[in-house]
Amino acid sequence: MDSKARWCVRIVRVGDLDDNPSVRGGVVTIGNFDGVHCGHRELLERTRELAGRLGGPAVAVTFDPHPAAVLRPNEPIRPLTWTDFKFRLLAETNIDAVVVLPADAALLGRSAEEFFQEILLDRLRVKGIVEGADFRFGRGREGDLETLRTLAAPHGIVVEGVPAVEIDGKPVSSSRIRQLIGKGEVARAGRLLGRPFRTCGLVVHGAARGRTLGYPTANLQRVKTILPDEGIYAGTAWVDGRRWPAAISLGGNPTFDEYSVKFEVFIVDFQGDLYDRWLEVEFLERLRGVEKHDSVESLLTQMRRDVEATSRIFDETFGAGKAAFDSG
């Protein structure tokens, strides 16, 4: 794939570099960039700065799929971002290009020295490399930042190490954010991401019980990322470039003796047909756990409170009375 991305950044598969010489001869930073969180953004900004000093493009080098899907196929990591959204987030960081490496057995089996020679020297012809202190590369994660400096020095390649970004006294990392989301702490996860956590799922037909109760929901399946712990959340939904307030239910419907986990989204004040469309949903704050009510009336009272809380949190986050529009 080689596309002049609609986000104004060039996305290039490593096999297509001969057709895209403009992405060579610059400064790179290498990583999975899962979540494109605050720590990643610092690396990307430093990459942009070093490219400005040395000349050449600022390039993010990433992998598709996530290497864990190849190395541990029976224990796949549910990502924080799906591939398309990761590219969109990377494009927002003012880099010039994203080079995508195939995370296959051949690539992941290369030693650190082979990776450096074949990818960074022969393919990308880099002038500089920017990485965090915990950077690892090569077969079995054998190479680190010092390995990189040793390999780069004979070629006059500048290697710049970047200290970890810390929030609440701890380094920001994708694994830390996954843990927070897994516990339902989506507001804290959002602080580390620098934006609300976003996922994406396909809207399918459900039991239509929400509609009969006056709260029609979009039922999502085939979700592309990790999901928070079961509960009721205030969030948003993106429809045709507009961000709407959305009350989100993750879990069963114990009031009706239904306990299979469902992902249901009530979009406040929205009217329209979303069936068979991919819907992007953001999580702002956990409101409560999933509860069993003694009556439908009691459930409806709680649902009204949840929707009111969702609207309030949405207004506090994005501005009261403002329609939030974006490219999504």
Q: What is the DSSP string of 246-302?
A: EEEEEEEEGGGTEEEEEEEEEETT--S--TTSEEEEEEEEEEE-----SSHHHHHHH
185 as an active site residue: the answer is no
Cβ 308 vs Cβ 269: under 8 Å: no
Domains and CATH numbers, the chain: 2-164 (3.40.50.620), 189-325 (2.40.30.30)
> Is the full-model pTM beyond 0.85?
yes
Q: For the segment 28-39, what is each residue's pLDDT rounded down to a tens digit? A: 999 999 999 999
Fill in the amino acid letter for 58. A
Q: What's the sign of the alpha-carbon dihedral 60, 62, 64, 65?
A: negative
Residue 177 has pLDDT above 90, yes or no: yes
Helix (H, G, I), strand (E, B) or coil at 118: helix
Residue 256 has pLDDT above 70, yes or no: yes
Residue 230 has pLDDT above 90, yes or no: yes
Q: For the segment 95-137, what is each residue's pLDDT rounded down to a tens digit? A: 999 999 999 999 999 999 999 999 999 999 999 999 999 999 9
* Annotated active-site residue in 42, 264, 282, 285: 264
